[in-house]
């Protein structure tokens, strides 16, 4: 199964460090970030889980739930959480999915169907493609997919930035330009006429016939 933006995120039931969940039910009316790891006790991933824990309040402000997944049993996650605390100073309080049978990794197109059905004997290199981040909306649609190599730690500030953009553009007929951040000007979409743009946004600048900028709308 190949996943694309605007497809419904595959639902699943899985064991986590906070008990068994049904993914869509767990998301509820919130947004969600599902981020994956090739194996427990790997150095880059250890820093990433700690960094995500350190941004807990930022995600809560945006009504975003965070959930991690690692191609290992839930039982080994507890010890890993202790290592993450030692390495980064942060407690991992969001749930971590155990994917010892590789079911979720396959469901989310991170491993091929012929990868087997057990995490036993698999190295991080065997699971190198289990390095994706999925942002999922309350409608259970995939809004963003990012995949990183094993040697490059993820930038969670960038993930927060993209969530800000996705949530803003879901409410208003605008888009965000390159390197946009909160408070910067936004782009008026082509679906909005000049007349309607004045009514909606008050004023705008025409940079090119197809590129009109205005102040960021308030939520």
Active site residues: 45
Residue 49 burial (C-beta neighbours within 10 Å; 0-12, 13-18, 19+): buried
What 3-state DSSP class applies to 8?
strand
Place of tokens 């700690």: 50
How remote is the C-alpha of 201 from its chain's centroid? 30
Beta carbons of 69 and 181 less than 8 angstroms apart: no
Residue 21 structure tokens: 């969940």
Counting Cα atoms < 13 Å in the Cβ hemisphere of 97 gives: 24
> Using DSSP, how many helices (H) and how many strands (E) does the chain show?
7, 11
Strand partners, 38: none
């Amino acid at each position: 199964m190949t996943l694309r933006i605007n497809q419904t995120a595959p639902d699943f039931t899985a064991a986590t460090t906070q008990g068994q969940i049904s993914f869509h039910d767990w998301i509820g009316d919130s947004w969600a970030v599902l981020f994956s790891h090739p194996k427990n006790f790997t150095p880059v991933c250890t820093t990433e889980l700690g960094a995500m824990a350190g941004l807990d309040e930022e995600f809560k402000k945006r009504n975003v739930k965070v959930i991690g997944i690692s191609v290992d049993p839930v039982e080994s996650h507890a010890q890993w959480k202790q290592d993450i605390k030692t390495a980064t100073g942060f407690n991992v309080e969001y749930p971590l999915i155990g994917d010892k049978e590789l079911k979720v990794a396959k469901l989310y197109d991170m491993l091929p169907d012929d990868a087997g059905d057990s995490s036993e004997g698999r190295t991080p290199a065997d699971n190198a493609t289990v390095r994706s981040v999925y942002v999922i909306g309350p409608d259970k649609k995939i809004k963003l997919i990012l995949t990183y190599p094993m040697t490059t730690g993820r930038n969670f500030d960038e993930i927060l930035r993209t969530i800000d953009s996705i949530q803003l553009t879901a409410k208003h007929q605008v888009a965000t330009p390159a390197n946009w951040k909160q408070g910067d000007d936004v782009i008026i979409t082509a679906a909005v006429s000049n007349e309607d743009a004045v009514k909606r946004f008050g004023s705008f600048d025409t940079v090119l016939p197809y590129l009109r900028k205005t102040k960021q709308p308030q939520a």
